[in-house]
Structure 1
Amino acid sequence: MTKKVYDLHTHSTASDGTLTPTELVQRAAEQQVSVLALTDHDSVSGLTEARIAAKSAGIRLINGVEVSTEWENRGIHIVGLGFDKTHQNLTALLQQQAQVRHQRALEIGLKLEKVGIPNAFDGAKKLADGEVTRAHFARYLVQIGEVKNEAQAFKKYLAQGKPCFVKSGWATIPLAIETIHQAGGLAVLAHPLRYTMTNRWLRRLIDEFKQWGGDGIEVSGCGQTPDQRHLLARWANEFGLLGSVGSDFHFPCGWIEIGKSLFLPENVTPIWTELNEKLNEKSG
């Protein structure tokens, strides 16, 4: 029997990815992915298209979203999986998040203008199918030759502490978890080792996430060292969290690929043990 390949964290043009939902699903099929979650930033607008493509490709699609939150003046991402995408509380939260993102984008555009880069908001908007994100500004800065690559755009202009960074005002983690649960889903702490904080702060974040009702933690991602994966596995067990896997794919590149090296250590309970019932209940 062929082992299922899961990827429960991916992005499309519905947020800051570069592939359409259909193209993303097609790439997942090429990578032999069996179960896929489309988890666009604060948006479920790509799920209908992705579901049609997944049915044709023989992939099981899980409703997903990556909710932006704030914790101790840091941006933290919470992935929701297996929810009812039409639930009124989830819809209301995502509408509020969209308003926050739009206002932030306008302010980033103004800050870029002040440092000598006019019309950045309009330029970024032309690159976005949905809400304008910092990634779209980064791509615009590359396009006009202001920086060599997107990483440089963040390092020079867009990252926290840089001249064009704008504090967001995202939802709190407890609100994100509660809303995901109200919509019938599971809440997962995304890519914990990507946040620039010490292990002591990370343990505090994970502990509070669990106390607030969080369900899982991303243990497996692309480009990890074995030590990093084992550390996350140990924390998953210590705090009683299910283990999730996700590439956090945004665009084709050499080091991040859909479904690549996404396996859990044997001692971790997979989040899909809980998701299976939700998959059966919410197939549409």
Structure 2
Amino acid sequence: MKIDTHVHTTCSDGRKTVAEVFQLASELDIRLISITDHDTVDGYPAALEEAGKAGIRLVPGVELSTRDEDDHVDVHVVGLRIDPDNGPLRSELKLLADARVDARRRLLDRINDYLSDRYDVWEPVSFENVRKRVSGTIVGKPHIAAEVLEAARKTGIEIPEEELYRIFKLPEVETKKAYELTMAECIRLIKASGGLPVLAHPFEYARPDAVMKKFKKLGGVGVELCKYRQKTKMRSIRAIEPFERIMIERQLNMKTVEMARRYGLKLTACSDYHAKNGEPGMETDEYSIDISWLLE
């Protein structure tokens, strides 16, 4: 069965609306899906309605970023089977979303300064114009990139998208969120909303085994097998030819299966789909995944 428990929409930093995601999922015969936008459940209840129309099983979800700690950087935790209407969850997500939007506003200011210093013809991009690209409360880097690249084209400036994302990470440009949760706080928040904490894309981190061990110790329940072939922001993936990425992806996922058994974590499968590369959905049969824990 084809499933995907990590999908983004325009409610955060995805490039397709909730309706477009479900239309694509239906075309690809995905039978179970979770909309897991960053720091928001704005995709609900629309996702519930679209899932009903498409006849696709929906597992409500959200994705949270953890504060850098214990030498672990930017670890993400997905909450599956959450209650999107849970009051404490929504209150905490509001704080996280506000901090994320503030960081993106400061990022755009720095991008405008950076490009103004290099191009006399640069016309600063308005944050309000960026927000028009968003269907929810979250402003993501793809929204900023899209607006900046469009402004660059209009003034005859050539900036490759990959180069712009490199600029985002420069010390004088990059911004940090003023409010973040620890891994332990993320896990507690997800569980308090009736959900199951799942470690996202473990091989994006420098020490996946150490991250997974800590995650389990703090009460984590599952871990993702991931469509790494689409994650070109990972240097190890971007550096190899596309036809070789599937082989690397399987190697990474088999290591995840091994570590999951060691730490007693359940498995799910996903693409972390943002509509930038590839398509959503993974076959559970490929790794013999038992997803009954998602359906209880």
- Alignment TM-score > 0.5, same fold: yes
State, as a whole percentage, how many aligned pairs show the same letter: 29
Change (3 A) 1:18 1:120: same
In the superposition, the TM-score normalised over structure 2's length comes to 0.82
C-alpha distance in structure 1 between counterparts of 2:3 and 2:260, whole Å: 18
**What residue in structure 2 maps to residue 228 of structure 1?**
252
Measured after TM superposition, the shift of residue 265 of structure 1 is 2.2
Matched, 1:30 2:27: yes
C-alpha distance in structure 2 between counterparts of 1:174 and 1:167, whole Å: 20
For 1:135-160, what per-residue CA distance to the aligned partner results, in whole angstroms no more than 9, with x for missing partners? 211222222235644332211x212x
Letter in 1 for 2:172: P
Measured after TM superposition, the shift of residue 110 of structure 1 is 2.1
What are the within-5 Å matches in structure 2 for residues 204-283 of structure 1? 204-223=210-229, 224=246, 225=248, 226-251=250-275, 253=277, 256-260=278-282, 263=285, 265-266=287-288, 270=290, 272-277=291-296
Aligned residues of 2:77 and 2:198 also touching (Cα < 8 A): yes
| Consecutive aligned runs of 4 or more in structure 1 exceeding 6 Å deviation | none
Aligned residues of 1:142 and 1:148 also touching (Cα < 8 A): yes
Change (3 A) 1:64 1:150: farther
Aligned residues: 263
Unaligned runs of 5+ in 2: 117-121, 230-245
Matched, 1:58 2:55: yes
Letter in 1 for 2:128: D
Deviates further, 31-40 or 203-212: 203-212
Aligned residues of 1:104 and 1:167 also touching (Cα < 8 A): yes
Unaligned runs of 5+ in 1: 278-284
In the superposition, the TM-score normalised over structure 1's length comes to 0.86
Letter in 2 for 1:244: T
Aligned residues of 1:219 and 1:236 also touching (Cα < 8 A): no
Letter in 2 for 1:242: K
C-alpha distance in structure 2 between counterparts of 1:187 and 1:85, whole Å: 14
Measured after TM superposition, the shift of residue 67 of structure 1 is 1.0
C-alpha distance in structure 1 between counterparts of 2:158 and 2:224, whole Å: 32
Measured after TM superposition, the shift of residue 7 of structure 1 is 0.7
C-alpha distance in structure 2 between counterparts of 1:31 and 1:121, whole Å: 35
Deviates further, 124-133 or 98-107: 124-133
C-alpha distance in structure 2 between counterparts of 1:218 and 1:173, whole Å: 16
Q: Secondary structure at the match of 1:79?
A: strand
